[in-house]
Amino acid sequence: MTLAAPVPLDLTDPAVVADPYPAFARARAEAPVQWHEDMGLWLAFTHAESNAVLRDRRLGRIWSDKAPAERFESFNLIHRNAILEMEPPEHTRLRRLISSAFARGHVERLRPWVEDLARTLVDELVERSGGSEPVDLLSGMAEQLPVAVIAELLGVPQVDRPLLRPWSNAIVKMYEYGRTAETEASAERAAEEFVAYLRGLAAERRTNPGEDLVSHLVSLRDADDRLTEDELVTTCILLLNAGHEATVNVSGNGTLALLQHPDQLARLRADRALLPTAIEEFMRYDSPLQLFERTATEDVEIGGITVERGQKIAALLGAANRDPAVFAEPDTFDVGRTDNGHITFGAGIHFCIGAPLARVELQATFGALLDRTTTVELGGDPVRRPEFVIRGLRTLPVVLGR
């Protein structure tokens, strides 16, 4: 095994959490793949190597239960049965079943509803701001819309919808490094409550089916195959956790980027046809997910080093999306960037199955923000979440005028 110099990258350093991109650039200049002693894995800093990590079939998502097992029973259950943590043939079977449910038109069915909700949320923020008072875009819109959309997709009753985001927030904190015992206990408790809730919802849909995704997943058949209840529950939790977290953070990170680059905001207001390319640029410029791990099932050469069987290697998505070998002026925020091969949604067999829904949500969010306001300005200092892997804001105060 060839060891590159240890990476001088502390993922708990507030400066790195606030802005990891200078550290990524320094590391990328040293070597495309480097060993991180504290994390015990390899890190890929370039687009080519990160893309290879995501696509190489010898690098898999190999789930290992968190230990001790009795402490993480529900957390382990929702990952052991998750498509994101599987490899073929199990992954192939489960993705085919889930894709067939999405193919029933759920995403397009929701588009008018999503657009109407986005307009309503923006109007409420504008009314509260009145062109002078700061309002929080995160709690007032970015967090509300994607959770509401996933809840509508799944058919979660209105009265239960406030339960979803706290459960998701607690669970995804387990993906960070340097967790506390309290964080782990909260994640397990949230997983246990979420699993119990979805088992009850699935049972109700068996006797009273509707047009929602849970009803379709409950009734799903593929020849003699079907989803197990654990797979159904896990799929619903994954849709919420992965589906809404990314959209919340692209909404917040993207809005902040626009406000920090008023020339680009003005350009987007002047030419609404740029909105689709702008959304792709939001995802490239400040990626909502920074790191994604794989495990070598045999020795694999990546970027001049050998990842030995059983070792882990992570694609640093944010670093890959700022690679000057792929993106012209990568640190420049350009809403008109058309040559934009970002890998925010992943690549290969684990490419995000919810990408079309995320794009519908983001187009509705930013479309409403542009259509229903004449001015959008920062109303104070944004507060960033203290985590590295899931990159987003905790608050984003804005002043909205119409």
pLDDT for position 2: 46
pLDDT for position 120: 98
Residue 357 token pair: 């829904």
Nearest Cα neighbor of 47 from 371, 250, 344, 336 is: 344
The CA distance from 317 to 391, in Å, is 11
In Å, how far are 56, 120, 138, 370, 382 from 255, measured between CA atoms?
Answer: 34, 18, 10, 11, 11
pLDDT for position 21: 97
Q: What is the mean pLDDT of each run of 10 residues along the chain (402 residues)?
A: 58 90 95 94 97 96 89 93 87 82 72 95 97 97 92 91 91 87 95 95 92 84 71 88 86 98 97 97 97 95 96 97 98 97 94 88 97 97 93 97 92
pLDDT for position 357: 87
pLDDT for position 64: 87
pLDDT for position 9: 82
How many angstroms from the chain centroid is the CA of residue 89? Answer: 25
Residue linked to tokens 């949500």: 361
pLDDT for position 118: 97
pLDDT for position 1: 44
Give 377's contacts (C-beta < 8 A, 6+ positions apart): 259, 398, 399
The CA distance from 305 to 377, in Å, is 47
